[in-house]
Copies of this chain bind each other. A is one copy, B any other.
Amino acid sequence: MRVGVIGFGRTGKSVANVILENPTIRLEWVVRDTRRLEHRSVPEFFGVESCEPGVIYSRHEFSAEQLLDRSPVDVIIDFSSPNGIYYYGASAAERGVAIVSAISHYPESTLDYLRDLSAQTPVLWSPNITIGINFLMLAGRVLQRIAPHLDVQIVEEHFRDKADVSGTAKRIADELKVPASEIKSVRAGGIIGNHEVIFGFPFQTVRLRHESISREAFGNGAIFAAEQLCSLPSGWYRMEDLLMPYFLEDDPNPTALAAR
């Protein structure tokens, strides 16, 4: 699988690094906004040996059309900014290149544009693209279906200067029908990011906890999404669509399954 990355900020760099280290994926290029580092390569930037090209381009040198023809890829992974999609979206869709976008927020009009593109190619948008957080949301929803009257509480912990409630915690709250105002936010020192969902039964407690070690986690999530998307038809996907199939046992008890 050949991959191109859009964006080379802090997260883009971490993601490119994880892709480089993954032997089944080939990093063709990275496109960034500025001309800094232009024509250098990701392996050289990180000081590692690699047979993958990972050339760093500026979007000012080539159009996405030129780039995709010159150096074709199967998937584009986007960690740039809300308007990055307008650089490559149409050219990618025309060529059937799958799109994995990890942009946090899009204006509604940009989301419409993304959905339009999904008529021609598989498009996935996930503001928090880690496997762990998305698993946690889906698993939490399962437990709520089993025991609808459970108390659910959300605690998130981050470094002292993080303003506002974490967007990921708000997303979890939304999925689990917890009012966002009930999220408990701990701010202390240099905590990178922890999210815990507490499910209170009368005589037992279940906790689902996710701890971030570094932003490289986004890279593994993006690779998972890219790998899945390549074998799917054109369409609009979210991370949970890709994880959901794994929630069903390979051999469930058919009678119990049918009865529900």
Complex interface bits, A84-113 against B, C-beta within 8 A gives 1, otherwise 0: 000000000000000000000000000000
> Which chain A residues numbered 118 to 141 have a C-beta less than 8 Å away from chain B?
130-132, 135-136, 138-139, 141
Interfacial chain B residues near A190, Cβ < 8 Å = 200-205, 213-214
A180 within 8 A of B: no
Q: Mark A146-159, 1 if CB is under 8 A from B, else 0.
A: 11001111010101
Distance between Cα atoms of A231 and B202 in the complex (Å): 25
A141 and B232 CA atoms in complex are apart in Å by: 24
Q: Which of A33-41, A55-63, A242-250 contacts B (4 or more CB under 8 A)?
A: A242-250
> B142, A247: Cβ atoms under 8 Å?
yes
A146-B246, A186-B155, A241-B252 given; A206·B259 CB < 8 A: no
A135-B146, A146-B246, A247-B247 known; A205-B184 Cβ under 8 A: no
List chain B residues, Cβ under 8 A from A235: 255
CB <8 Å contact, A203 and B216: yes
A sample of 27 cross-chain residue pairs with beta-carbon separation below 8 angstroms, ordered by A number, consists of A130-B204, A132-B199, A135-B143, A139-B208, A141-B249, A145-B246, A146-B243, A151-B189, A155-B184, A159-B200, A186-B198, A188-B205, A190-B204, A202-B213, A203-B219, A204-B213, A206-B211, A209-B209, A233-B255, A237-B256, A238-B253, A241-B253, A241-B255, A244-B256, A245-B259, A247-B247, A247-B249
| Interface SS majority for chain A | mixed
What residues on B are CB-neighbors of A155 within 8 Å? 155, 184, 186
A67 at the interface (CB under 8 A from B): no
Copies of this protein in the assembly total 4
Most buried by B among A153, A189, A231: A189
Docked pose: A213 CA to B200 CA in angstroms? 10
On chain A, which size bracket covers the interface? 35 or more
Residues in A lying within 8 Å of B, measured CB to CB: 130-132, 135-136, 138-139, 141-143, 145-147, 150-153, 155, 157, 159-160, 184-192, 198-217, 219-220, 224, 228, 231-233, 235, 237-238, 241-249, 252-253, 255-257, 259-260
How far does the Cβ of A27 sit from chain B's closest Cβ, in whole Å?
17
> Are B231 and A253 neighbours in the complex by a CB distance under 8 Å?
no
Q: A233 contacts which chain B residues (CB < 8 A)?
A: 255
The answer to whether A198 and B203 have CB atoms under 8 Å apart is no
Given A132-B201, A190-B200, is A232 in contact with B213 using a C-beta cutoff of 8 Å?
no
